[in-house]
Amino acid sequence: MDLILRTARLTDGRLVDVHVTDGTIVRVADAGADGAPTGAADVVDCAGRVVIPGLIEAHLHVDKALLDRERPNPDGTLAGAIAVTGELKRGFTHDSVRDRARTLLDQAITNGTTLVRAHPDVDPIVGLTGVEVLLGLRDEYRDALDLQVVAFPQEGIAKAPGTLALLREALAAGADVIGGCTYNEATLAACHEHVETVLDLAEEFGVPADLHADFADDTSDPRFALAGHIADQVAARGLQDRVALGHVTSLASLPRASRTDLLLKLAAAGVAVVPLPATDLHLGGRSDDHDVRRGVVPVRELWAAGVTSAYSSNNVRNAFTPFGNADMLDIGLLLAQVGHLSGPDDLARVLEMATASAAGVVGVADTYGIRPGAAADLVVLSTTDPAGVLLDRPDRDLVLKRGRVVAETTRTTRLTRPTPGLTTGLTTGLTTRSKEPIHA
Ligand SMILES: [Zn+2]
């Protein structure tokens, strides 16, 4: 099957025609360079609209999404969120998890996401329910979305006896990644053991590791200051570019010099960092009486230190984060606002954290991007201005997975204000902006 996206605007402003064969991009040429398309190819006329590669949710709790109406977080803290969700998990069934997961994944696809790394809980409360549902959905959604399944020990490993055997079972059943929750153990020694166990499993099963780490306002409790230790372990084992850390919020409370040293260490060890601003902001700073902390890893410093980074939604509408629409452009704007990031260069770099850089974090860089040889995972946006992608959060007009349209959005907006100088009433002043670019 052949497809051509004509007159697509890349984020560097260049207008190109993108040629796709059997789901793979085979040629990217200057717009019109090849003349009018001939043959049997389907043609999508992008008319100068911006086209980006499919957005990547590098860290999403699909199994726990959309629980906020069942029971909210009693005190707004991380401990409160874990406790409430632990109770709700007792009622999880395969059907209930699958129903909420499908709703969330469909929303993500509509919003231009073509890959999700999902972190279903694995513990004695839910057993493998989340993993089994997600592995089923990985097949069910194969043509619309790539789903990576992380075996995630939310309740700890030593702290929740039986979890280690379940993690092994999840990996044997085909989970793609081993997860971790390094702070949810009773002692620092148990936290170190947790890290060791997770990295052992990564080596034994030949999978990447993706750990929740250092999710606190400050570093006074050493269980929440493990990033340096993890970097040492990763370097010693030669697991460079195979390990990601989510949150790492306590890093923001370190003095700048210590922060810089730690970031350089993470960069040298090839450990990626994934800020999760919606959750980090909602659960952080809860004990502050004044000067309430942001509790989000300083993004500009990640860039300066050369740390591979992505950002993600983490949770959508549950006790951890009672907001969200699985929309990576929304979260990107939030990250920019909280990280003091602005202007075209910064915003382009934030968008990269949802696209090319995220592809590196989840291990798909080899087949990602708008270039020959990459999978044709593409999003046509309702703007012609690359600088407006995060600011305007344009419609995702078309979402393509391996060259096939998997979601389409059309919207009509009418401005009903009377046109100045005309006296013939409201209808004369109707303006239709359907599919018109926001910026000409
Ligand atoms: Zn998470």
Q: Residue 236 burial by CB count (10 A; 0-12/13-18/19+): exposed, middle or buried?
A: exposed
Express each pLDDT in 379-389 by its tens digit.
999 999 999 99
- 351, two tokens: 């968008």
Distance 2 CA to ligand 1 centre (A): 39
**pLDDT tens digits for 208-234?**
999 999 999 889 999 999 999 999 999
Bridge partners for 57 per DSSP: 116
pLDDT value at position 433?
Answer: 42
Residues 326, 56: Cα–Cα separation, whole Å: 11
DSSP per-residue codes, 262-278: HHHHHHHHTEEEE--HH
Taking residues 241-268, report their average pLDDT.
Answer: 96
> Rounded mean pLDDT of 355-370?
98
| Local structure of residue 13 (DSSP, 8 states) | S
Task: Please give the distance, rounded to the nearest whole angstrom, from the Cα atom of residue 44 to the centre of ligand 1.
Answer: 37
Query: Residue 198: exposed, middle, or buried by beta-carbon count in 10 A (0-12, 13-18, 19+)?
Result: buried
Whole-angstrom CA distances from 40 to 21, 43, 161, 372 are 11, 9, 60, 20
Confidence (pTM): 0.94
Residues 49 and 348 sit within 8 Å (Cβ to Cβ): no
110 alpha carbon – ligand 1 mean position (Å) = 22
> Which tokens belong to 39?
């043959």
Print burial letters for 318-330: b (CB count within 10 Å at least 16), e (below 16).
bbbbbbbbbbbbb
Strand partners, 360: none
pLDDT for the residue 69: 84
Provide DSSP, 277-325. Answer: HHHHHHHTTTT-SSS-------HHHHHHHT--B----B-SSSSS-S---
Q: How far is the CA of 296 from the centre of ligand 1 (A)?
A: 14
Compute the distance from residue 274 Cα to the ligand 1 centre, in Å.
10
Q: What single-letter amino acid sits at 316?
A: V
* 276 C-alpha to ligand 1 centroid (Å): 8
Q: What is the DSSP string of 47-87?
A: TT-BEEEPEEEEEE-GGGTT-TTT---SSSSHHHHHHHHHH
Burial of residue 38, with CB atoms counted within 10 A of its CB: 0-12 exposed, 13-18 middle, 19 or more buried = exposed
Give CA–CA dist 285/299, Å, rounded.
18
The 3-state DSSP class for residue 417 equals: coil
Tokens at residue 50, please?
């911006």
How high is the mean pLDDT of the chain? Answer: 93
- Residue 423: the pLDDT is 56
Ligand 1 centre and the CA of 370: distance in Å? 29
| Residue 246 alpha carbon to ligand 1 centre in Å | 7
Which pLDDT does position 429 carry in this prediction? 39
| Ligand 1 center from residue 342 Cα (angstroms) | 26
**Would the pLDDT of 307 be above 80?**
yes
Q: Alpha-carbon distance 407 to 145, whole Å? A: 11
Using the mean position of ligand 1's atoms as its centre, give its distance from the Cα of residue 41 in Å: 42
Residue 67: count other Cβ atoms within 10 Å of its Cβ: 24
* Rounded mean pLDDT, 353-357: 98
Q: Please give the pLDDT value at position 426.
A: 46
Q: How far is CA 404 from the centre of its chain?
A: 22
Q: What separation in Å is there between the alpha carbon of 6 and the centre of ligand 1?
A: 39
Question: In angstroms, what is the span from residue 72 Cα to ligand 1's centroid?
Answer: 17
Q: How far is the CA of 280 from the centre of ligand 1 (A)?
A: 10
pLDDT (tens digit, 9 = 90+) per residue, 176-204?
999 999 999 999 999 999 999 999 999 99
CA of 59 to the centre of ligand 1 (A): 6
pLDDT at 36: 73
Q: For residue 154, what are its two tokens? A: 């939310």
Residues 20-67: tens digit of each pLDDT: 999 999 999 999 998 776 776 899 999 999 999 999 999 999 999 999
User: What is the separation, in whole angstroms, between the first and last Cα of the chain?
Assistant: 33
DSSP letters of 343-368? HHHHHHHHHHHTTHHHHHHTT-GGG-
Span 155-182, average pLDDT: 98
Nearest to 183 by CA among 233, 123, 224: 224
pLDDT of residue 428: 39
Residue range 120-133, pLDDT digits in tens: 999 999 999 999 99
User: Cα(275) to centroid of ligand 1, in Å?
Assistant: 10
